[in-house]
Amino acid sequence: MIGPGKVLDTERYFVICSNAIGSCGGSTGPTSTNPRTGRPYNLSFPVIMVRDMVRAQKLLIDRLGLDTLLTVIGGSMGAMQALEWGVLYPQRVRSIIPIAGTGRTSPMAIALNALARQAIYNDPLWKKGNYKPGHPPADGLALGRAVGHISFLSDASMNLKFGRRFSARDGMFDFFGQFEVERYLEYNGRNFIDRFDTNAFLYLAKALDLYDVSWNFANRKEALGRIECPSLWFAFSSDWLYPPNQSEEMVTLLKKLDKPVEYHLIDSDYGHDSFLIEPEKFTPLISAFLDRLANG
């Protein structure tokens, strides 16, 4: 979606993509050195919220000397951040584009993250977050990631990708033999541990669980009433992590508040991952939306 001639055309737009605080990819998080101790923060790092991520982003654009942003766009946790921008800094954004998001995390989504957390907590190498960087709780993190990855898929996408095929390298009646879907989850989980920190995973999952746009407001109506800019929303038919009705609740509230809002339900079999796998189904709508903004 990002690059010359693409929907977020880098020959036309200045694109800012900052790492979220609490993560392990550059911004301050549990892997960062605590200046008071000279050691990593680990679990002494404060619990953060999506709202804190957006406050940090606002400090960034202040430092860059930018008065307004044409749009804030993101999928999943990025959709939450886009919504927070519209609520917290209505004078600084000309539009927001939440993709496959929600106004507050559901009990089911929280339950799935709880399973992922327990997988990590039960790994003896986790040591209450004080594991050695060279010896992370790999088994726990891999299982936690596998639990999360299931929520990104759908029954239809699993049937398309795997069906009930048994792994060619295993015997069907071998007790430890695996279906292809099992091998995929194992591979995906193992691949994840080489590029992500366990504590950062826990902190980001906690931020997702805590998300509620009405935090520190009387209700969601009061929070959404602060939004002044147009918003463009996308949901995906097979997404069961943040299902369409959760976006539609936000859109309905915005319409009742007479806010300029546009909503599209995209038909896709790929679950929550749909926005990553089939962007061509909705990017033309983003291009048209941005063109209208640019033309006043």
Question: Does residue 76 carry a catalytic annotation?
Answer: yes
Which one from 123, 209, 239, 273 is the annotated catalytic residue? 239
How far, in Å, CA of 206 to CA of 270, rounded?
25
The three-point CA angle 34-49-26 to 5° equals: 45
Q: Is 167 within 8 Å of 177 (Cβ atoms)?
A: yes
The candidate with the shortest Cα–Cα distance to 84, out of 210, 211, 248, is: 211
Which one from 154, 157, 209, 272 is the annotated catalytic residue? 272
- What is the CA 118 to chain-centroid distance, rounded? 20
- What is the CA 200 to chain-centroid distance, rounded? 14
Q: Is 220 within 8 Å of 44 (Cβ atoms)?
A: no
Question: In sequence order, what are the residues at sequence separation of 6 or more whose Cβ sits closer than 8 angstroms to the Cβ of residue 84?
Answer: 50, 51, 53, 54, 213
The candidate with the shortest Cα–Cα distance to 276, out of 160, 163, 159, 152, is: 152
End-to-end CA distance of the chain: 23
Which one from 76, 95, 247, 268 is the annotated catalytic residue? 76
Active site residues: 76, 239, 272
